[in-house]
Amino acid sequence: MPSNFAPVLDSVRSKPHQIDTLVESRRFYNLEHAELNIYETLEVAHSFSLKFSHPTLASMLKGKKMMHLRDQTPFEFLPGESIVLPANECMKIDFPEATWENPTQCLALAISDEQIEQTLQMLNESFPRTEKSDIWHLEKDNFHFTNDNGIYQTLTRLIQLFMEDNPAKDFFAKHTLQELLIRILQTRARTLLIDNCEQHATSNRLAYAVKYIKEHLQEPISIDKLCDEACMSQAHFFRCFKNEFGMTPIEFVTNERIEKAKSLLKRTKRSISEISYDIGFSSVNYFVQVFKKHENITPGRFRKIEKAKPAKSLS
C-alpha cells in the first residue's frame, strides 16, 4: 500500500522556517473544521509528550516512532500506518532513529467535533448499520491501522486542500473530511468484526458471514451461500456489507485470501503453487495476477523482501 506523502509535502518542506526545537518542529495549517500539523524530529529523543484537544488522525510519513499509549503495549509506528486518537489522549513518544539528515516525519489531522457529529448523523440516517442495536460512533479508545488505498488517497487530497490557495477550499474540505471519517469508521467496523468474528457471530449477521469466509478460504465461496449464512436476501446482504465494510463481499474474500497468502509466504517455505491452492485459487497464474494487483509486487518478490527484513525490536 502507498505510504509516502512526500510529493504532496515537498513544496512545504522546501520553505525556510524557524526551528525552535529539534524535538517535534511543527508547521500547521487551518481550515474551518480541521487543523493539519506536520512534525519533524531531527535528533534521537525519548518520552516526548503530545496531545490534542480534538479527535486526531496521526499518520507516519518517514522514519520510526515508539508509541506509548494508555492500556497498550508500546509499539512501533511506521510509514503507511495511522492512529485515531480521542480528544486529550496523552501520547508518550520515543524517536529512536531521528537525525538531521534523516528526520522522523509525521502528520496529525485534528477534526472538529461538529464535523464528526454531522458525519455520524448522516451515516446513521442514510447508511445504518446492519444490526439495529449498533450505531455508527467514534470510539473513545486508540485505533492503530495500516492505511488502505482509499484512506491514503483521501488524506492526500486533504493535504493538498490545506496547502492550496482556493477560496472554496473549506467547502471542498468539508466533503473530503466526511469521506475520510467514513472510510476510517468502515475500517474500524471491518477490523472489529474480522478480529472478533467468533465473539460477535451469534449477535451480528455480518460477523457470522465473516466467520464462514475465514473458515472456508480453501473452498469456492458463493454469494448465495454467504447470503444463506447471514439470513439475508442477496440485495440486502450486498448493501449491508458495502455500507459497513466499504467493500463488496467478493472484494473482502479476495483481501482475506491475499492476507492469508502473505502470512504463509512470511512464515512457511511452501511453494507459491501450494499456497495458491491452500487459499482457494484454482490457478497459480491467476493467484499471481491477483496478488500483484493487490500488493503491486509478485508473491515471489514479496517473500524475498520479507526475508531480507531485519527482526523487529521494541528497544
Neighbours of 275 (CB within 10 A): 23
Please, what CATH class does the domain formed by 1-195 belong to? mainly beta
The string of pLDDT tens digits covering residues 188-212 is 998 988 888 888 888 899 999 999 9
Q: Which CA distances in Å does 97 have to 3, 43, 90, 147? A: 18, 8, 22, 22
pTM of the model: 0.81
Assigned superfamily of 198-308: Homeodomain-like (1.10.10.60)
DSSP the chain: -----HHHHHHHHTS------SSSEEEEEEETTEEEEEEEE-S-EEEEEE--SS-EEEEEEES-EEEE-TTS--EEE-TTEEEEE-TT--EEEEESS--SSS-EEEEEEEE-HHHHHHHHHHHHHHS--SSTT------SS-EEEE--HHHHHHHHHHHHHHHS--TTHHHHHHHHHHHHHHHHHHHHHHHHHHHTHHHHTTT-HHHHHHHHHHHTTTS---HHHHHHHHT--HHHHHHHHHHHHSS-HHHHHHHHHHHHHHHHHHH----HHHHHHHTT-S-HHHHHHHHHHHHSS-HHHHHHHHHHSPPP---
Q: How much is the pLDDT for 25?
A: 84
Q: Per DSSP, what are the bridge partners of residue 35?
A: 30, 110
Find where cell 492469508 sits: 260
Q: Over range 89-113, report the average pLDDT.
A: 94
Q: Over range 119-130, report the average pLDDT.
A: 94
Domain residue extents for the chain: 1-195, 198-308
Q: How much is the pLDDT for 155?
A: 95
Average pLDDT of the chain? 89
Decide: 88 and 176 in contact? Cβ < 8 Å: no
The string of pLDDT tens digits covering residues 262-310 is 999 999 999 999 999 999 998 999 999 999 999 999 999 999 999 888 7
CA 54 remoteness from chain centre = 19
Q: Does 1-195 match 198-308 in CATH topology? A: no
**CA neighbours within 13 Å on the CB side: how many for 169?**
16
Q: Helices 205-215 & 223-230, crossing angle to 10 degrees?
A: 140
Residue 140 and residue 206: Cα distance in Å, rounded? Answer: 23
Cell of 284: 497459480
Q: How much is the pLDDT for 14?
A: 43
Per-residue pLDDT band for 114 (boundaries 50, 70, 90) equals very high
Q: Order of strands across the sheet with 143-146?
A: 25-31, 34-41, 104-111, 56-62, 81-85, 143-146
The string of pLDDT tens digits covering residues 206-238 is 999 999 999 999 999 999 999 998 999 999 999
**Angle value at C-alpha 20, between 81 and 36, nearest 5 degrees:** 40
The string of pLDDT tens digits covering residues 7-47 is 445 444 444 444 344 456 889 999 999 999 999 999 999 99
